[in-house]
Amino acid sequence: MGTVFTLAQGTFGEAIRRKILNIFLMVALAMIGLYFAFTSFTAREDLTITLSTGLGVISLAGVFISVILGINLVPSEIEKRTIYTILSKPVRRHEFLLGKFFGGLTTVFVNIALMGIVFILLVWFKIRHPEASVWEGVLMIFFQMMLLSAVALLFSVFVSPFVNFFLTFSVYLLGSMSSVTESLATPGKDKNPITVGFFWLIHFLIPNLGNINIQNPIIHPDIQIQNMDVYMAQTILYAIIYSAIMLLIAILIFDRREV
């Protein structure tokens, strides 16, 4: 575990200083700040809009940070030849990959946490009491990004960063529309079984990001979750298992990959 930790530390130190990621963070923080500066809160609807806007900004910045970071974690090490000095030391390939992933994930966590803390504090300051759904939303965004980072890392072991960018983004978009793919995958009288089968496969393979996205219940308050703790535990478990499967596949491919 020491090797993975060392590699994660190195990766985090490098990633947290990447200017492009810092720009996304700064823009997101500025957008959140400006929104609060020019909005007055008078009604419940305003809070709902504020929450969905703030979480939307955090989510979007999180997507860019996770994808740009994730698609470059392994290729940049190959391009800069750092991987050669690391893999020629007593480091197993899976340790290298896990080190890269956890280093990247820590970077994503720090970025989302920074945006989340600012957002939570601003909401608290405006409505004069803490709002639980804000931190729940931020937490779920992090797990959504964890999943997306694992997908990006998987693609990064066998496609170029350019292709990976579009692939991971497609996964994000399709995964965010999981309710749509679910309805298309549901058999019906007028539906072609092949089409239904195709969408079932898509729905099965693509991560169900729509369910993880807590903003949906915020935007649509009519959708009531009976037990928020159970719902969150289930979706977090889903994100962890899905990410673990992605990492396992990535390890199996990377183990035989020539660098």
The residues in 97-116 that bind other proteins, with binding defined as CB under 8 A, are: none
Tell which one of 26, 34, 84, 241 touches other proteins (CB under 8 A).
84
Nearer to other proteins, 40 or 88 (CB): 88
- 86 makes contact with other proteins (CB under 8 A): yes
When the beta carbons of 16 and 127 are compared against other proteins, the nearer one is 16
The verdict on 4 binding other proteins (CB under 8 A) reads yes
Which amino acid makes up residue 30? A
Rule CB under 8 A: choose which of 13, 33, 197, 221 binds other proteins: 13
CB of 250 to other proteins, least distance (A): 18
Pick 18 or 126: Cβ nearer other proteins: 18
From the CB of 37, what's the least distance to other proteins, in Å? 34
According to CB under 8 A, which one of 190, 222, 229, 258 is a site residue for other proteins?
A: 258
- State the nearest-atom distance from the C-beta of 71 to other proteins, in Å: 19
Chain positions 196 to 225 lying near other proteins, rule: CB under 8 A, are none
3-state secondary structure the chain: CHHHHHHHHHHHHHHCCCHHHHHHHHHHHHHHHHHHHCCCCCCHHHHHHHHHHHHHHHHHHHHHHHHHHHHHHHHHHHHCCHHHHHHCCCCCHHHHHHHHHHHHHHHHHHHHHHHHHHHHHHHHHHHCCCCHHHHHHHHHHHHHHHHHHHHHHHHHCCCCHHHHHHHHHHHHHHHHCHHHHHHHHCCCCCCCHHHHHHHHHHHHHCCCHHHHCCHHHHHCCCCCCCCHHHHHHHHHHHHHHHHHHHHHHHHHHHHCCCC
Instruction: Out of 48, 52, 53, 82, point to the residue binding other proteins (CB under 8 A).
Output: 82
Q: Which of 19, 38, 43, 89 binds other proteins (CB under 8 A)?
A: 89
User: Quick one: 82 or 106, whose CB is closer to other proteins?
Assistant: 82
Which residues are at the interface with other proteins (CB under 8 A)?
Answer: 1-4, 6-7, 9-10, 13-14, 17, 80-82, 84-92, 95, 256, 258-259
